[in-house]
Amino acid sequence: MNITEHKNISYKQPGKFEETRFEKIHNVIFEASKEPSILIAQEIAQLIRDKELQNKPCVLGLATGSSPIKVYEELVRLHNEEGLSFANVITFNLDEYYPMDKSNLQSYFFFMHEHLFNHVDILAENINIPNGKVNSDDLYQYCIDYEMKIKAFGGLDFQLLGIGRTGHIGFNEPGSHHNSGTRSITLDHITRVDAASAFLGIANVPRKAITMGIGTVMSAKRIVLLAWGANKAEIVKETIEGKITSEVPATYLQQHDNVSFILDEAAASELTRVKTPWLVTSCVWNGPLKLKAVVWLSELLNKPILKLTDKDYNNNGMSGLLTEEGTAYDLNTKMFNKLQQTITGWPGGKPNADDSRRPERAIPERKRVLIFSPHPDDDVISMGGTFDRLVEQGHDVHIAYQTSGNIAVSDEEALKFAEITQSICPNCEVTKSIINFLKIKTDNDIDSSEVRRLKGLIRRSESIAATRYLNLSDDKVNFLDLPFYETGTVKKNILAENDITMMCDIIDRIKPHQIYAAGDLADPHGTHKVCLDALFEALKILKQNDYMTDCWVWLYRGAWHEWESYQIEMAVPMSPDQVLKKRHAIFYHQSQKDGVMFQGGDSREFWVRAEDRNRLTAQKYNNLGLADYAAIEAFKRYHF
């Protein structure tokens, strides 16, 4: 089935229906990336087969990056299990870093072979990827030849795209001309920041690249752009709803007559029809939508909820809601109370209190609590205040660090510890070998298992110091070191049975009444998302057990985003002293201070981000008319 015939699409032309009137590009929204990736792979496979029947080559334009990975996985599966042949396929990749050696782990040449070409029967001479090693004197002509070669094959039949946060497609950064061809380009700072984790630091990211042009991409007969995750939401909205501008090169796609954007819910979350559906059409007003709309209106008008008037609602597309609810006064009070009831200083439930309007149950008074932390610091960064309260209020708290976090420890930090060990124990062979390895290590080397172990141990000792500071005994601290993470590189293995078994084992051992986990889907290198998937899989397996009916799951967000105010179901306020205590707990994670390796696009240190974020949540609650707290940690319940 072609994606344009998919059940989610009731229209082919963008903007044809009221709901999509702000949109200038056809798009389809899916819950998650897996299903649409399979559909797109099937569309490509169909094209390959159709061309084969016509005895013609199938010319594909391909992208790298995280977005198309599942499409390539499915193409490989179709090849292995359903006999899809790539013998008639000719590929042209969008881009390559410059300079860049093919053998480099970060090269797009390496990426494409690892994810697709090594696993299918494509002929080596049919693979075209810009050569990152071409001599600078020959570069200009090389790019013209690349362009001409595409034309010589009759142009691209299908172009797969991702989108960068700058609005780039390929590496056509802001400023690119609509009829640009293949050329060399200087990478935008944001693009380099986004690539920094793959290169273990921004300093190692090349400044230049070779890219197909906008004109090259636009001449493809069919274009599909994939965007997953909250990080892409803003740029997706700008591209689909904004004016065509060279400042957002992807907006040129508005002029293509056979393009589809395939989005997951997080990437689509800023589209007008998703974010504020009442502005585009009449809505079915359920409870969560009412709260979302009222919070939105209060924030838009900068007025506390209790001061919103009938006129405010009528002027902002919500007269239908008022008709259902009676008066602004009634609606305001209802929504205000709903938010008010999310606030609790008793995250484990308040003993002997009427809990009918509280986020957590009063019984059992002493709960078994299991906090999952993807890396060995997310617990204190994201919920240090709540963690502290749970321990203080007498609950039986356990921590499980899901991954070792070893790749986020710098070589300098590891060397420091190795040298200290050597001073104490001069004849230790392991220490000697670690020191020798680190001294000669080059950018392309993957850490030896000993170095990885040392880096993991550094993070363990930091975590133990932080949990001791929060009065948790060491026997309550678990390090799972999930195997999917232990590759020694940024690229991780896919979740396997033993990862899920380890998750099940710890839940089964503790039989928790509460589980806390990172619901953060915007983690730049995806570990949080994989850790969450591991939890969801474990919950699916365990949910038949009696003890699980008593288990509530609360999701906190990691270091990058916070829940929107209307999504919060438990808001745990912190006093100024508790904010300081949380800061100190974060300080124990010394290897993650000052210019940490995987900082993402935000140069603030983790403790600053955490404080800013918790202060902002409190500020937002206060602006809505609720009490004025110093800081708030926020949670959303996950029903399984």
Question: Footprint of ligand F6R on this chain (CB under 6 A)?
Answer: 63-67, 94-95, 162-164, 168-171
Q: Which two tokens stand for residue 364?
A: 């059992």
Non-local (6+) Cβ contacts of 556 within 8 A are 382, 383, 386, 516, 517, 518, 519, 520, 633, 634, 635
- In the complex, least distance from residue 211 CB atom to ligand F6R, rounded to whole angstroms: 7
Nearest residue (CB) to ligand F6R, 29 versus 94: 94
Residue 581's alpha-carbon distances to 209, 251, 375, 463, 505, in angstroms, are: 46, 47, 20, 15, 32
Q: Closest residue (Cβ) to ligand F6R?
A: 162
CA distance 217 to 236: 18
Instruction: Choose between 256 and 511: whose C-beta lies nearer to ligand F6R.
Output: 256
What are 572's strand-pairing partners?
633
The residue (of 34 and 350) whose beta carbon lies closer to ligand F6R is 34
The smaller minimum CB distance to ligand F6R, of residues 171 and 346, is found at: 171
Q: Give the separation between CA 229 and CA 375, rounded to whole angstroms.
A: 20
Q: How far is the CB of 28 from ligand F6R (least distance, A)?
A: 18
The amino acid sitting at 588 is Y
Question: Based on the number of CB atoms within 10 Å of its own CB, is 124 exposed (0-12), middle (13-18) or buried (19 or more)?
Answer: exposed
Q: d(Cα 228, Cα 232) in Å, to the nearest integer? A: 7
Residue 356's contacts (CB-CB under 8 Å, 6 or more residues apart) are none
CB of 162 to ligand F6R, least distance (A): 2
Residue among 226 and 400 whose Cβ is closer to ligand F6R: 226
Q: 88 vs 166, which CB is nearer to ligand F6R?
A: 166
The token pair that represents 370 in the structure block:
């299991």
- As annotated, the active-site residues are 173
Nearer to ligand F6R, 210 or 555 (CB): 210
* CB closer to ligand F6R out of 211 and 463: 211
Residue placing its CB nearer to ligand F6R in the complex, 108 or 621: 108
CB closer to ligand F6R out of 95 and 377: 95
Q: Where are the beta strands (DSSP E) in 402-436?
A: none
Say how far apart CA 109 and CA 64 lie, in whole Å. 9
Picking from 486, 481, 499, the residue whose alpha carbon sits closest to that of residue 446 is: 486
Are 221 and 58 in contact by the 8 Å Cβ rule? The answer is: no
Least distance between ligand F6R and beta carbon 95 (Å): 5
Cβ(218)–Cβ(255) below 8 Å: yes
CB of 213 to ligand F6R, least distance (A): 12
- Shortest CA distance to 194 belongs to which of 413, 522, 486? 522
End-to-end CA distance of the chain: 31
Residues 6 or more apart whose Cβ sits within 8 Å of residue 456: 404, 405, 406, 481
CB of residue 111 to ligand F6R, shortest distance in Å: 8
Output 227 or 571, the one with its CB closest to ligand F6R. 227
16 is written with which tokens? 């044809």
d(C-alpha 351, C-alpha 364), whole Å: 8
**Residue 206: cis peptide before it, omega within 30 degrees of 0:** no
- Rounded to 10 degrees, the C-alpha dihedral 478/481/483/489 comes to 160
Amino acid type, 320? G
Contact 176, 242 (CB under 8 A): no
Query: Are 261 and 236 within 8 A, CB to CB?
Result: yes
Give the SS3 label for residue 319.
Answer: helix
| Structure-token match 């991702």, residue found | 162
DSSP assignment string, 12-27: SSTT-SGGGTT--S-E
Tokens of 399: 């921590």
User: Which tokens belong to 1?
Assistant: 């089935």
HSE (side-chain half, CA atoms, 13 Å) at 279: 15
Question: In angstroms, what is the minimal distance from the CB of 2 to ligand F6R?
Answer: 22
Minimum distance from residue 622 beta carbon to ligand F6R (Å): 36
Cβ pair 221, 158 in contact under 8 A: yes
Distance in Å, CB of 229 to ligand F6R, minimum: 8
